[in-house]
Amino acid sequence: MEALPARTSTRSQGDFSRSLGLRLLSLLSIVLVWLGLSWLLGRTVVPGPVETVEFLIREHERGQLWVHIWITLWRVLLSFAITMALGVLIGVAVGISRTLDRLLEAWVVTGLAVPRILPLVVCYLLIGLNDTAAIVALVIIMVPQVIVQMREGIRSIDVKLVEMARALRRPRGQIWRQVVLPQLAPYLLGTARGVLSLSWKMVVFAELIGRTSGVGYQINFYFQMFEMRGILAYGLAMTLVLAAIDLSMLALSERAFRWRRPVEQVI
Amino acid sequence: MAGIRCLGLRKVFSSSRGPKAVLEGVNLEVKSGEFVAILGPSGCGKTTLLNILSGLDPDYSGQVSFTDSRSPTRPTIGYVFQEPRLLPWMTVRQNIHFALEATPSPKVGARVQSWLRRVGLADYYDYYPNQLSTGMQHRVALARALILDPEVMLLDEPFSSLDEITAMSMREEVLELWKEQQGTVLLVTHNPLEAVYLADRVLVMAANPGRIIAELELTGRLPRPRDPEDRRLWELSREAVRLLSPHLRLGSAVSD
């Protein structure tokens, strides 16, 4: 019997504390830069974290904050879900079929190259200044990126593992679930995080130019009032909500990939 | 248990320089319960032949059939590849379980545990493949193929990536399991000593195009159990190499 190899994935309490410490340090550095900017440029130009949070609390007490955050979040999640569903389906199909890839190539390249504001303006003009137009535009803007990522994901699949599963006469469903999907998962989660981040930025932009509700609308409102605290307060609130979602996705990804050997052990 | 029969097997790959025959007129018969080794240089089409037999490659001409199978359609085939091909996101237990069902059940769980004991990995059931040595990974792959209770085992150079000490112990394990299971084994190797040590019969294969050029019957000449130190093993392995030598041409290999 060969010697027992060292187990590499079992995380000790020390690793966890170190990881938490580094993350808190990263967060603290953001607050410090913010404080520094506020000190350098003056509180009227860049209000500090305390003034911003105070403004946020006032908005909450006025009953405004959550109304706008929920509307924005709903738009973000809806456009994110439609984008991911469409992008994954088309990306996988394009990755498998060279013919489909060539047929859709012009669309994907155009979708990636077109300025992001264009679909938004065109949809507002064609469909009207409503949520449907905003969501359709956002999906058009984001889908090509998901297609590209998923196509690369499918093409990088280890075909030897699929062959192994076929040699064992495993049903197609099991092969997709247990052999193909785990290989696509890093692409899927990476793309999902990217799309979520882009989705939130684009939704705020869409609200700013064509909606009468949501965080983007509020930012525009306070921009016209020259109220920097309002702009930063809504930006901060939405950033915190999205960061919480992103961190949950990160935690999910760490759990899903716990079998991986930490790269710092080999590089 | 099942036997294997191939008649006039031909396989052509298309390349940028036109079609290339990798296998040409391969006739092969393996009796039920027999241990046969195919010995040949890299690129002579050994792996292609196993892929055809396993059903992975349906694109060939000629006849492939299985005799004396307990299944009316196709016998259960266990395929052990050159590399272990374990799913890195699954633990050792899950990798073996994978061969039998999508959702683990307690009944199968007991069988998995029993096979893990047989290959000496009972304590490693919750390890991921990257936490195991190459030899251990090969044992998991062997258990994964054997848990199917296969009528035919196809072994594609399963010991070639192992150090000689580990390979020796794995060969013993394979022989033990073959004696217990009484299955049919077709081993592909480029190691003449390994072929004559393990097999009842050695089929010598040449490349360009891949074909069987000679046969070495060992049952009468080298009774079992065999001693790895037996001088006759060396002599027989030289005999196998002599059969192959006139057909060896450097740079002739195209693809396995």
* Tens-place pLDDT, residues A230-246: 999 999 999 999 889 98
> Given strand B18-30, what is the order of strands in its sheet?
B18-30, B3-15, B61-67
Mean pLDDT value of segment B20-31: 93
Rounded-to-integer distance, Cα A203 and Cα A131, Å: 10
Give the pLDDT confidence of A74-114 residue by residue, as tens digits: 999 999 999 999 999 999 999 999 999 999 999 999 999 99
pLDDT digits (tens, 9 = 90+) for B97-137: 999 987 777 788 888 999 899 888 999 999 999 999 999 99
Domain endpoint, select from A29, A46, A63: A46
β B61-67/B35-39 pair status: unpaired
Rg (chain A; Cα; Å) = 23
Mutate to test the interface with B, among A1, A2, A176, A263 (most CBs of B within 10 A): A2
**What tokens does A36 get?**
């520094």
Of B123, B122, B127, the C-alpha closest to B92 is: B127
Q: Which residue of A has its CA nearest to B78?
A: A168
Do residues A214 and A68 touch, judged by C-beta distance below 8 A?
yes
Residues 6+ apart with CB under 8 A from B104: B94, B97
Which residue from A139, A26, A27 is spatially nearest to A77, judged by alpha carbons? A139
Tell whether A265 is covered by a domain. Answer: no
The percent of residues in chain A predicted with pLDDT above 70, rounded, is 93
| Residue, of B246 and A172, whose pLDDT is higher | A172
In a domain, A9, yes or no: no
Domain assignment present for residue A199? The answer is yes
Instruction: Pick the residue from chain A with its C-alpha nearest to B120.
Output: A1
Q: Is residue A3 part of a domain?
A: no
Residue at A6 is within a domain: no
Domains identified in chain A, total number: 2
CA distance, residue B145 to nearest chain A CA (Å): 8
With tokens 């449907």, the residue in question is A132
- Which range, of A124-133, A224-233, B158-167, averages the lowest pLDDT? B158-167
Tokens of B141: 């792959």
Residue range B81-88: average pLDDT?
Answer: 94
List, by residue range, all CATH 3.40.50.300 domains of chain B: 3-76+150-247
Q: State whether A20 and A146 are in the same domain.
A: no
pLDDT of residue B252: 46
- Asked whether residue A20 is domain-assigned, the answer is yes
Tokens of A84: 């991911």
How much is the pLDDT for A1?
45
Question: Average model confidence (pLDDT) for chain B?
Answer: 89
Percent of chain A with pLDDT over 90: 72
Q: Is A5 part of a structural domain of the chain?
A: no
- How many residues can be counted in chain B? 256
Q: Which residues pair with B12 in a beta bridge?
A: B21
- For residue A262, pLDDT over 90 is answered with no
Residues A238 and A216 in one domain: yes
Q: Are the C-beta atoms of residues B256 and B46 closer than 8 Å to each other?
A: yes
Backbone phi and psi for residue A39, each to the nearest 5 degrees, phi listed first: -70, -40
Tell me whether B79 touches chain A (CB under 8 Å): yes
Please indicate, yes or no, whether residues A58 and A36 belong to a single structural domain of this protein: no
Q: β-pairing, B77-80 with B61-67?
A: unpaired
Q: Which residue has the higher pLDDT, B43 or A108?
A: A108
**Mean pLDDT, residues A193-197 taken together:** 92
Interface contact B98-A165, CB threshold 8 A: yes
Asked if residue A74 and residue A96 are part of one domain, the reply reads yes
- Chain A nearest CA to B162, separation (Å): 13
Q: In terms of domains, do A153 and A184 share one? A: yes
- Looking up tokens 């379980």, which residue turns up? B97
CB atoms within 10 A of CB B180: 10
- Predicted pLDDT of residue A13: 67
Which of A7, A166, A178 faces B131 most closely, judged by CB atoms?
A: A7
Q: Are residues A36 and A68 in the same domain?
A: no
Per-residue pLDDT, averaged over A53-73, amounts to 93
Q: Which residues 157-216 on chain B approach chain A with CB closer than 8 angstroms?
A: 166
In a domain, A67, yes or no: yes
H/E stretch holding A123 reads helix A117-127
* d(C-alpha B63, C-alpha B47), whole Å: 17
CATH code for position A163: 1.10.3720.10
pLDDT of residue A147: 97
- The whole-chain average pLDDT of chain A stands at 89
Range of lowest pLDDT (A130-134, B169-173, B245-249):
B245-249
Do A150 and A243 share a structural domain?
Answer: yes
Write down the CATH number for the domain with range B3-76+150-247: 3.40.50.300
B176 close to B101: Cβ distance less than 8 angstroms: no
**Domain, as residue range, for A26:** 14-46
Q: Using the 8-state DSSP alphabet, how is residue B105 labeled?
A: -
Containing H/E element for B28?
strand B18-30
Mean pLDDT of A17-34: 88
Backbone region of residue B112 per phi and psi (left: phi > 0; alpha: psi in -120 to 50; beta: other values): alpha
| Predicted pLDDT at A44 | 84
Where residue A17 falls (left for φ over 0; alpha for ψ -120 to 50; beta otherwise) is alpha
